[in-house]
Amino acid sequence: MKTKKFLLSESQMPTAWYNIVADMPNKPLPALDPRTKKPITAEAMSQIFGEELVKQELSTERFIEIPEQVQDLYKIWRPTPVVRAYNLERMLDTPAKIYFKNEGTSPAGSHKPNTAIPQAYYNAKQGIKYLATETGGGQWGSAIALACQYFNIDLRVYMVKVSCQQKPYRKLLMNAWGANVIPSPSDTTQAGRDILAADPECSGNLGIAISEAVESALAHGEDTRYCLGSVMNHVLLHQTIIGEEAIRQMEMAGDEPDVVIGCFGGGSNFAGIGFPFIRRNLCEGKKTRVIAVEPASCPKLTRGEFQYDFGDTVGLTPMMPMYTLGHTFQPANIHAGGLRYHGAGSIVSQLYKDGLMEAVAIPQLETFSAGMMFANSEGIIPAPESCHAIALAVREAKKAKEEGKEKTILFNLSGNGMIDLYAFEQYFNNKLQDHELPESEIRRAIDELDKIIK
């Protein structure tokens, strides 16, 4: 009988996160203080982020131990399964073997609690009483709302306005876990008021929401900090438990992935599945292709420029070296709200620059088509973000068929789509479209950047 699902026991769950900075041949360039344009100090970063998270942000240790209390909370849903997608293979009539790591089994329905819980834990340990954050599609917002409930922290979430409209149940989920959710841009911050004055119909984006959340945190007092669900080194670090589990599970399956795939917005789930496999490439001589999949309407890796840029629209965050479309870039209102972000983050950008990973951009309609193929074969409704990873897995499987070659594909199913059914309704009713992004629009935002990297 064929084995379909590969499960680890609780005792087999990894007890440390992997920090890829330790093994990178070229370390990421330092983040810069937005005021001085000089490398930012840990003291300055600690005014925004929790102290222990800043230490992790700057760490070069290869492995960082997961606190016991965090491990205990992880065990509510971890380890997550790796599943062989036999039905999808048959539907595609491919010689490829397709596996997926199912991160949609968490209470919040996505991979985001992997970092939300440690972030809430470290802030609570420091005595922080309030957190401010942003969210795009709502997966991060719901995850940190859940985590704050565990540690008695009050939470304010600035949710991208178009996503707030498209995904009302994500907002309700955050409310159920005690969060105050504010559509962004809003009139509660100076950043939001300025943006609305310039464009009253602005639909928002992650960069704007980050600006509002950072401003809100800085204005609230010493017992408040900002937190985020992607991009930064410490966030990507926490997600590597995904790939660490997956390596052990692929060994259980007796398979070695040729291709590892993750959708890409700010880099959290991609790093989670991909970084441990890149470690094996760097340290053990493996040849696994690790591929990030981004929306064709927000293609920072495939069409952006490697440059220092702000993580937010207004310019309150540290400046990071990254592939970027420019912090003033306004992406189209696609339904994969968690992927509508202008920059790639410093670690992923350096890995991509050094040719240690690949990137592909895929149009919206192709991703939804692949998502429905997956739903009809494997029975799981995927999040619109995860549909990007599925779409590339389908492409790779079809290519294997065309070439008559066997191939093993592993992708990260970063979240389920049970609260995203409105997006699929729009797809069924032919109300979604692909967004062609002219080069002139990309150049306009990039050309506004200070050319710190010559």
How far apart CA 428 and CA 317 sit, in angstroms, is: 39
CB neighbour class for 10 (10 Å; exposed up to 12, middle 13-18, buried from 19): exposed
Per-residue confidence (pLDDT) for residue 453, from 0 to 100:
58
Per-residue confidence (pLDDT) for residue 34, from 0 to 100:
86
Q: Which pLDDT tens digit goes with each residue over 104-142? A: 999 999 999 999 999 999 999 999 999 999 998 788 999
DSSP string, 153-195: -EEEEEEEHHHHHH-HHHHHHHHHTT-EEEEES-SSSHHHHHH
Q: Does the structure show a pLDDT above 90 at 235?
A: yes
Look at the block and give the residue holding tokens 């950043």.
191
Pairing of strands 180-184, 154-160: parallel
Q: Does the structure show a pLDDT above 90 at 207?
A: no
What type of residue is 352?
Y
Per-residue confidence (pLDDT) for residue 392, from 0 to 100:
98
Per-residue confidence (pLDDT) for residue 443, from 0 to 100:
87
Per-residue confidence (pLDDT) for residue 322, from 0 to 100:
95
Per-residue confidence (pLDDT) for residue 333, from 0 to 100:
65
Q: Domains (ranges, CATH) in the chain?
A: 5-10+74-109+234-442 (3.40.50.1100), 21-66+112-233 (3.40.50.1100)
Per-residue confidence (pLDDT) for residue 452, from 0 to 100:
63
At residue 283 the predicted structure's pLDDT band, cuts being 50, 70 and 90, is very high
Q: Which two tokens stand for residue 401?
A: 């068929």
Q: CA 327: distance to chain centroid?
A: 17
Question: What is the separation, in whole angstroms, between the first and last Cα of the chain?
Answer: 59
Q: Does the structure show a pLDDT above 60 at 254?
A: yes
Phi-psi region of 210 (alpha: psi -120 to 50; beta: other; left: phi over 0): alpha
At residue 165 the predicted structure's pLDDT band, cuts being 50, 70 and 90, is confident
Strand partners, 131: 155, 225
291-319 as b/e: b if 16+ CB within 10 A: bbbbbbbbbbbbbbbbbbbbbbbbbbbbb
How far apart CA 262 and CA 385 sit, in angstroms, is: 10
Q: Does the structure show a pLDDT above 80 at 337?
A: no
